[in-house]
Amino acid sequence: MSRAASNLQIDSARLWGMIHETAQFGATPKGGVRRLTLSAEDKQVRDWFRKACEAAGLEVRVDALGSMFALRKGRDMTRPPVGLGSHLDTQPTGGKFDGVLGTLAALEVVRTLNDAGIETDAPICIVNWTNEEGSRFAPAMMASAAYVGDFTTDDILSRKDSQGVTVAEALDSIDYRGDAPVGSQKLGCFVELHIEQGPILEAEHKTVGVVDSGQGVLWYDGKITGFESHAGSTPMPLRRDALATLSEIVLAMERIAKKNGPNAVGTVGEAVIAKPSRNVIPGEVAFTVDCRSADDGIMNALDGDLRAAVAEIEARRKVEVKLDLIWRKPPTRFDAKLVDAVENAAGALGYSHRRITSGAGHDACNLSTKIPAAMVFIPCKDGVSHNELEDATQADCAAGANVLMHTVLALAGVAS
Ligand code: GLV
Ligand code: MN
Ligand code: MN
């Protein structure tokens, strides 16, 4: 690598400026972001991103699920591009960094290469994946899953949000159903920068996490059917209370995750009473469960223990509980050579670093089943994420972007 390339640093202030500029699209009063996938706010940030990529000389294509691919030509266009990026959608009350950092750092890498006049051998392709978060449409990371062939495009297009709007209708409503067939933009490998979303790097005073693995995920949709009746006149022993049943399931989930721990977590994140009223015993409650582990055997144990606990509670309370496993994502092992490339870049740049497992799901995890993939983590304040208070420092964001850039340069190749 030439000296110019090996000494290259991204523009920290420019990256920080882009993160804060885009945080206006869906800004919440507490300093977070609400930018549900394929919403009006998502369209605003997508339009901004498309313009910024085009201004950086990139050719932007949109696939049939709305994922955006921005290509920077390489010297050897017979080589598949090195992919980098993340997502621009957020949780309903999300932060400014989850997904945004990896997508905008990818753009900052390209802007830095442009300014330095550096051409790479392989092309580079920045990706903004549709619906990473999974809070409007399930499952999470659906576009990258379709990209690697885990779902068909039509299956994903027909998924509905809680209002009955399909992915196809949502894409059309913001004019982001593109012509490129899903999977048609080939990538040779993929590298994603992200905040850790957990407490380890901060506690150990490490600047960079070299991500070598990721937890597997189990998602369930649940429905409890009991019996609605008068809250004043129905004696306690005669009740079939759907919400009281859910309370037991929530506590069972907590107990099961702890029993299978420390490498297991379990959460009931959504609960909706069908016809809520202060003086009616709830007769129908819908809920969701999210369980995770980096170990396939522990995932099986979580599934078995949860089903057994639900069956016992259902029989004892004389209610009906439907528990559907709607998504199973196996644990991820990232590509050894790419993980080494991230580690080498962090070391060469002089950043303190350690290997780490991702607790969260990421598009890179889906891609790793078909192409070499890896991730770079930086610390976030108090390990907090999926919260408006999510925070990271400018210096750590810049460090992560520098590691991303030097990993990409090593993978794409630059003339010496
Ligand atoms: C994505 O944010 C996930 O890990 O659920
Ligand atoms: Mn994310
Ligand atoms: Mn997230």
- Which pLDDT belongs to residue 171? 98
Report pLDDT digits (tens) over 182-215: 999 999 999 999 999 999 999 999 999 999 999 9
- Which pLDDT belongs to residue 1? 72
In the predicted model, is pLDDT for residue 250 greater than 90?
yes
By CB neighbour count within 10 A (0-12 exposed, 13-18 middle, 19+ buried), where does 259 fall? exposed
Lookup result for tokens 């497992």: 357
- Which pLDDT belongs to residue 79? 98
Range 73-90 average pLDDT? 98
pLDDT grade for 172, boundaries at 50, 70 and 90:
very high
SS3 assignment, position 90? coil
Residue 250 — φ and ψ, nearest 5°? -60, -45
- Which pLDDT belongs to residue 341? 98
Computed over every residue of the chain, the mean pLDDT equals 97
**In sequence order, which residues have a C-beta less than 8 Å from that of residue 367 and are 6 or more positions away?**
83, 144, 147, 148, 187, 190, 373
Rounded CA-CA distance 303/295 in Å is 13
- Which pLDDT belongs to residue 277? 98
Q: Give the atom of ligand 1 at the shortest distance from the alpha carbon of 99.
A: 2
Q: Residue 36 has what DSSP assignment?
A: -
Range 133-143 average pLDDT? 97
Lookup result for tokens 């490129």: 180
Separation of 99 CA from ligand 1 center, angstroms?
10
Range 301-326 average pLDDT? 98
Report pLDDT digits (tens) over 374-390: 999 999 999 999 999 99
Ligand nearest to the CA of 358: 1
CB of residue 140 inside a 6 A radius of ligand 1: yes
CB of residue 133 inside a 6 A radius of ligand 1: yes
Separation of 167 CA from ligand 3 center, angstroms?
19
**In sequence order, which residues have a C-beta less than 8 Å from that of residue 392 and are 6 or more positions away?**
97, 101, 195, 378, 379, 380, 381
CB of residue 360 inside a 6 A radius of ligand 1: yes
CB of residue 361 inside a 6 A radius of ligand 1: yes
Range 221-242 average pLDDT? 98
In the predicted model, is pLDDT for residue 53 greater than 90?
yes
Separation of 186 CA from ligand 2 center, angstroms?
22
In the predicted model, is pLDDT for residue 416 greater than 80?
no
Separation of 139 CA from ligand 1 center, angstroms?
10
Residue 76 — φ and ψ, nearest 5°? -115, 95
**In sequence order, which residues have a C-beta less than 8 Å from that of residue 193 and are 6 or more positions away?**
84, 86, 101, 102, 105, 106, 375, 376, 377, 378, 400, 401, 403, 404
Rounded CA-CA distance 18/45 in Å is 11
Q: In a mutational test of the pocket of ligand 1, which residue from 36, 129, 265, 386 has the highest number of ligand atoms less than 8 Å from its CB?
A: 386
- Which pLDDT belongs to residue 214? 98
Sign of the CA dihedral with 353 first, then 359, 361, and 365 last: positive
- pTM of this structure: 0.95
Q: In a mutational test of the pocket of ligand 1, which residue from 103, 133, 136 has the highest number of ligand atoms less than 8 Å from its CB?
A: 133
Q: Which residues have CB less than 5 Å away from ligand 3 (the ion)?
A: 98
Q: In sequence order, what E strands does 274-334 have?
A: 280-281, 284-293, 320-329, 332-333
